[in-house]
Structure 1
C-alpha cells in the first residue's frame, strides 16, 4: 500500500514540477538512505560519501541528508501500522490490562531512549554539522571503530539475553540504549548500529534490540528532520523542495523493504557480517582520502 502511494506521488511530482537534471542523483541518495538507515552501517556516512562521489551539490549544508530521513520514518510507521494501532488501542484500555501495561512500558522506554541523544544533538547541533559532517577521515574512523565493536560483541563470550519482548524492556535498559545512541551524532557511527549495540549490551536479544531501534527511529529521525528543516529554511530554495520530496519518497519505498529484510536476517544470523563490512568500508574511504579522491 505504501509503495503504491509512493509511486503515485512520484508520478504526481513529475507532472507538476519541471524536470531537474540532478534528480538521478537524488534518486541514488534516496536509495542509499533507504538501504542504510536501518542497517548498522551508518546512513549519514554513506549519504555524504556517495553524494561526494557523484558530485551532488544540493546538500544544503547537510540538511538534505537529514531531511530525507523523513521517508524512512514513514516507512517504519507503515511497516508497523497494525502494531502501532494495536498499542494505541491497548493504551486507551480497549484491550487487556496486560496488553495495556506492555504498550505503556514500550513507549515509556522509547521516550527514555530518545531523550539523551536529542538533548545533546539540540545543544551541539551547529558544532556537529560544522566540524563533523565534512571529514571523510572521521567518518572512516567511526565506521572502523563501530565494526570492531560489533565483532567484539558477537565473537567474545557474553551473558544470555534477559529480554526478548518489546513490552518488557526496562527503563534502565532503555536508558542504556539512549546513551549509546548519543555516539550516533558522529557521522559514520550509525544510529541503528549504536542503538542495537546499546540494546545488546543492556540485555536485549538481537531481534528485540533491532525492533526497538526501529521504534526509536520514529521520534529520533522525525524530530531531527523537523528541527533541521525549521533551522535551515533560509537556506532552502524553491528547487530544493522537489529534491527533498523525491529523495524522501524513494527512501520510504526502499526503507520499507529494508526493514523486513533486516528482521528476517537477524532472526537467523548475527552482526559479524556488518562489522566486517564497516571495517572494509572505513579502510576503503581512508585509501580514497590518501590518494586525494575524497
Structure 2
C-alpha cells in the first residue's frame, strides 16, 4: 500500500485503492465497510472497503480474515498482503480522514459531527466502487449510530443493493473483517510514518495508544502543547482531552471589544496583544520584507487577507 499521497500533506484527506478486478465488473459482488481510529485523539480516522464476487465469499472466508482488533499487527500485515495479492478477485479502497479534517468539521459554525462524517465517508466509498464499475449486489456495514436508521438511509441511497448494517459486523461477515484489516493497516502505517511539518525537533514517538485515557498519550499531549497555537496537526484539537489541556495550559486570550470603555478598557491596555504572536519578530511594519510570518501560518499555508 503506497501512502505517499497522504504523506505529502498530512493536513488533507485522501483515498487510496487497489486495481479493480475484471471479474468484479461482470459478476455480482459483495462489499464490506469498516473504520479504524474513531476514538483516538491522535492521528487520522481511516475508512476501508473490501469487495469480491459473491461466488468467492467462501474463498475469502478461508483466508482466515477476522476483526482487526483481535489480530496482532503482524497478523494484520500478513492478511492485508494476502488480500492485496488476490488481485484476480479482491479489491479494496481506503479513505483517510486527517485530524485537521475531523477537527475543522466538528468545530465549524454549522456542526458536522463524527457520525455524519462517518456516514458520508462510507457513502462516498460505496459510490466510488459503483463508479468504478463494480457490480454491487450486497453491502455489509458496521453500524455508526442506530443500525436500523443507517440501514434505511443506505438502502434509499442505493436502491437495488441489499444493505445489511449490524453492530460488530467486522466479526460477523468476512468481507467486513477484510475491510477492517485494510483500514487498520493503513492507519497504523500512517501513524508510524507521520511527517511532522511543525518545527518540533526530534519528536518523541512514544505517545502510547493515542486514546485519551492512555497516560502516555496525555503526557505526549502536555509535552507538545504550544501555549499560543495549540497542537501539531497530528492531534485532533476538537477532542475534549485536547481542549481541556489547551484551556488549562494555554495562554489566555482577551478579544478586544470596540464598544468597551472605562476600567476594563484600561486594564486591557497592559495585556499583550494577540497580534504580537503573528510574526517571528516583534515590532516593525507587517509589510517590511525582513519580517517573517510566524511558522504556525507558514506550516498551514495561511496568508494575510491583504496579500490575496
TM-score, normalising length from structure 2? 0.26
TM-score, normalising length from structure 1? 0.27
Larger-gyration structure (1/2):
2
Whose strand fraction is larger, Structure 1's or Structure 2's?
2
Whose helix fraction is larger, Structure 1's or Structure 2's?
1
More contact order relative to length (CA 8 Å, sep ≥ 6): 1
